[in-house]
Structure 1
Amino acid sequence: MSKVSKVVNAEAISAKQKLSSNFLKKGISIALFSGLMYGFYSAFLTLGMTKGVWGDWYGANTAGLSAVVITFVLGALGSAVNDTCSAVWALIYAAVKGKLGDFFRCLKTKPGAVMIVAALIGGPISSTAFVVALKMAGSIVIPITALCPAIGAILARILFKQKLDKRMLLGIAICVLSSFMIGSTSIGSDAPEGLLAGLCIAFIAALGWGFEGCVAGYGTAMIDSEVGITIRQATSGLSNLIILVPLFGMMFGGGISFSTDLVVQAFTSGPAMIWFALSGLCAFVSYMSWYNGNSMCGAALGMACNGTFSFWGPFCCWIILGVIGGMDGWALPPIVWISAVLMMFGILVIAMNPMDLFRKKEVAENEAA
């Protein structure tokens, strides 16, 4: 091979390595952005549930609603309104991208059915549990819900016989330790009322999302991720709205007419719907960024980057609700912040060997030299 050919090949290899490196970095940035958007989704959702008619429902007079209705029916309704708004954003995006036809066609396929099942698990169950926990205990529950990657890894081992090596077990142990550190704040006479129950309900959300991740993995491997997200959000919104809210209305409120009245009031409350529209948009963008980031930097690293919502969730709630909104109770003790960061590290350990990040950098530098 001539000297000129060697130089050309070296330049081509260098250009390819630089392109791959930039692609990876962009994927990591997008996946990290998904965690940030999840934090804003949590904050705007909570803010929306204090405005308009929600302020009356959760106010001092509670508009004549029982404690059970306030906790469960309104929690399910808040999740339904948010997920419905998110579904509208997803459908608009699919229409703009020219994928609305693919959306309806995929609904009839097996992967589409798998995505619907995943959405039924993550929507009516996990999303409602998350909203209920958020209203009961505040943003302290968000790091608990971030246990879903650890739970997903365990469920993948049980359901699909996927390997759990020592590194992954260490990451799971770190996540569990972090959750216990957060849970320790619910012990003692100074703990707010309902904090322990809120943390337990948050764990239900993490369990559901972990199971959803296992089920949805198959569906997203077979269909376009943007179409898959649209199926997920539309199914979640509709199932919450036409199944869970009426069911809770019959169980706790006296009938379907009761829940229907609440739904109409919620969707016609302008001051609240502004924030629900924002929370729905942030939820959709968060899922979109997570899926796109995964496709660029790999599912393992993407999952670890998305897990940063264990930090961004409490942080965004503190900024938007506590600092800007002037609401009390959104400041968190130092142990929660430490636990959130520790859990982020645990998620990274589950997803990959953290030392690989430094090895890849060293290899790239050596090859470039």
Structure 2
Amino acid sequence: MAENLNLNDLKVMESKRKVKFGYMWALFCAVFWGIWYLPGTAVWVLNPFDDMSAVIAADYGNSVSLVIVAVLITALNALTVVIALLFWNAILGKHKIKELGRTIMEFKHCSKWFFLGSICGLTAVFGSYLAMGFIGAAFSAVAGLLYPVVGSTVARLWYGEKISKRALAGILIIVCGGIAIYAGGLVSELATGNVQWFGYLGGLMAAVGWGLEGAVAGKGLDLAEPDSAITIRFIGESLVWWIIIIPILALFGFPMLHYALLALNPMVLLVLMFAGITFGFCYVTWYKSFPLIGVGRGQGIGNLYGLFAVIFVFLFFGSSPGWAIIVGGILCVIGSLLMFTESTGNVESLRGD
């Protein structure tokens, strides 16, 4: 049978195989990402973070205390992801470790994109933890659903990744969902005079940061393997937190290192490692999807994480989202499904001519 296939038939078969695996990786990303909100929510109520928040609030107020605690949690999250990813690369074999070293050394042409992506991703993860701390996990998960809009737009303007009419329609529906998410919460809080501005800012940081990171990663993945790329991205984030931001906050008098050491207890480490494993594998599958189906489509399918996150948070914590979050989340999922159901022919060529 293979002898009767011409070159064009083989190209079509290979394209369909790539698209199939790309969608599969993006869907795995959505599941792991949704699960991450369980340890991400639980860690806020564990000591030493609960005590740290109370101590800082006594001197600086509740808002500042939540921001500082979010910094430490995000920094610890980055470390646990690095550990999980290094372990993952070691399991894959010595050639992966060698590839990781080779990719790091190719800074000018390759790894610079992933270090740049680490800055974008750092902003996103920190923003997501801010939204969790100030408003809640359900809002944090759904607010970030705007990120495919940013990623698709930047990928289109920067390196000409194609956006079909169907994908554009999905993006516009996601925008409408984002408006519902933010407007509904703001209207109700403005009526009470108690607006959690840092929480809404965190949601926007997550959407913009993850969108930009996807576009940057899409550029770098032209030259690197996803397993090495994502490890470099989190090594870069960890270096920024622990060499620059944490020491600066410690110099300003915040007890960062003291509470970081107190976090080295079995229960907290268990929750943090759970977060590191789920978030690490979420990122591995996310990065694997980009070269196969493009940044916009990979982000569109990964966007289903919001649905999984709301379901998991409700099942484990009994936290139900408000009507605005539900409506906005449904719109975002519909927009993602529009991108998901795009015909294979539209995905064969990801870049413009």
TM-score > 0.5, shorter chain as reference: yes
**CA spacing shift, 1:39–1:194, aligned 2, 3 Å:** farther
1:156-195 to structure 2, matched below 5 A, reads: 156-160=155-159, 167-183=166-182, 184-188=184-188, 193-195=194-196
User: What are structure 2's unaligned runs of at least 5 residues?
Assistant: 347-353
CA distance in 1, matches of 2:120, 2:28: 25
**CA spacing shift, 1:154–1:84, aligned 2, 3 Å:** same
Query: Residue 90 of structure 1: CA displacement?
Result: 0.5
1:72 corresponds to 2:70: no
1:326 aligned residue: none
**CA spacing shift, 1:24–1:207, aligned 2, 3 Å:** closer
**CA spacing shift, 1:108–1:31, aligned 2, 3 Å:** same
The answer to whether the 8 Å contact 1:49/1:272 transfers is no
TM-score w.r.t. length of structure 1: 0.79
Structure 1 stretch displaced more, 74-83 or 337-346:
337-346
1:154 corresponds to 2:149: no
Quick one: which amino acid aligns to residue 128 of structure 2? F
1:240 corresponds to 2:241: yes
1:231 corresponds to 2:218: no
TM-score w.r.t. length of structure 2: 0.82
SS for the counterpart of 1:103 is: helix
Query: Residue 233 of structure 1: CA displacement?
Result: 1.7
1:260 corresponds to 2:247: no
**CA spacing shift, 1:166–1:356, aligned 2, 3 Å:** closer
1:133 aligned residue: 131
SS for the counterpart of 1:146 is: helix
Quick one: which amino acid aligns to residue 201 of structure 2? C
CA distance in 1, matches of 2:156, 2:301: 22
CA distance in 2, matches of 1:228, 1:79: 20
Quick one: which amino acid aligns to residue 243 of structure 2? I
**CA spacing shift, 1:101–1:310, aligned 2, 3 Å:** same
2:308 aligned residue: 312
1:325 aligned residue: none
1:363 aligned residue: none
The answer to whether the 8 Å contact 1:52/1:270 transfers is no
CA distance in 2, matches of 1:208, 1:298: 18
Query: Residue 301 of structure 1: CA displacement?
Result: 3.5
CA distance in 1, matches of 2:168, 2:15: 30
Quick one: which amino acid aligns to residue 237 of structure 1? S
CA distance in 1, matches of 2:53, 2:312: 22
1:49 corresponds to 2:44: yes
1:107 aligned residue: 104
Query: Residue 262 of structure 1: CA displacement?
Result: 2.4
The answer to whether the 8 Å contact 1:52/1:271 transfers is no
1:208-219 to structure 2, matched below 5 A, reads: 208-219=209-220
SS for the counterpart of 2:343 is: helix
SS for the counterpart of 1:331 is: coil
CA distance in 2, matches of 1:70, 1:343: 32
2:29 aligned residue: 34
CA distance in 2, matches of 1:100, 1:279: 23
Quick one: which amino acid aligns to residue 38 of structure 1? W
CA distance in 1, matches of 2:74, 2:193: 24
**CA spacing shift, 1:166–1:248, aligned 2, 3 Å:** farther
Q: CA RMSD in A?
A: 3.3
CA distance in 1, matches of 2:342, 2:40: 37
Query: Residue 157 of structure 1: CA displacement?
Result: 4.5
Quick one: which amino acid aligns to residue 105 of structure 1? R
Query: Residue 41 of structure 1: CA displacement?
Result: 0.9
Query: Residue 84 of structure 1: CA displacement?
Result: 0.6
SS for the counterpart of 1:151 is: helix
**CA spacing shift, 1:335–1:203, aligned 2, 3 Å:** same
CA distance in 2, matches of 1:248, 1:192: 31
User: What are structure 1's unaligned runs of at least 5 residues?
Assistant: 323-329, 361-369
Structure 1 ranges of 4+ moved more than 6 A? 13-20
1:346 aligned residue: 335
SS for the counterpart of 2:143 is: helix
The answer to whether the 8 Å contact 2:77/2:276 transfers is yes
**CA spacing shift, 1:240–1:321, aligned 2, 3 Å:** farther
Quick one: which amino acid aligns to residue 83 of structure 2? V
Give the count of matched residue pairs.
338
SS for the counterpart of 2:111 is: helix
Quick one: which amino acid aligns to residue 132 of structure 2? L
The structure with more radius of gyration: 1
SS for the counterpart of 1:229 is: helix
The answer to whether the 8 Å contact 2:81/2:277 transfers is yes
1:356 aligned residue: 343
**CA spacing shift, 1:17–1:143, aligned 2, 3 Å:** same
* Identity in percent: 21
CA distance in 2, matches of 1:16, 1:274: 46
SS for the counterpart of 2:105 is: coil
CA distance in 2, matches of 1:200, 1:274: 29
Q: Deviations over 1:121-148 (max 9, x none)?
A: 212x221111111111112122221211
SS for the counterpart of 1:89 is: helix
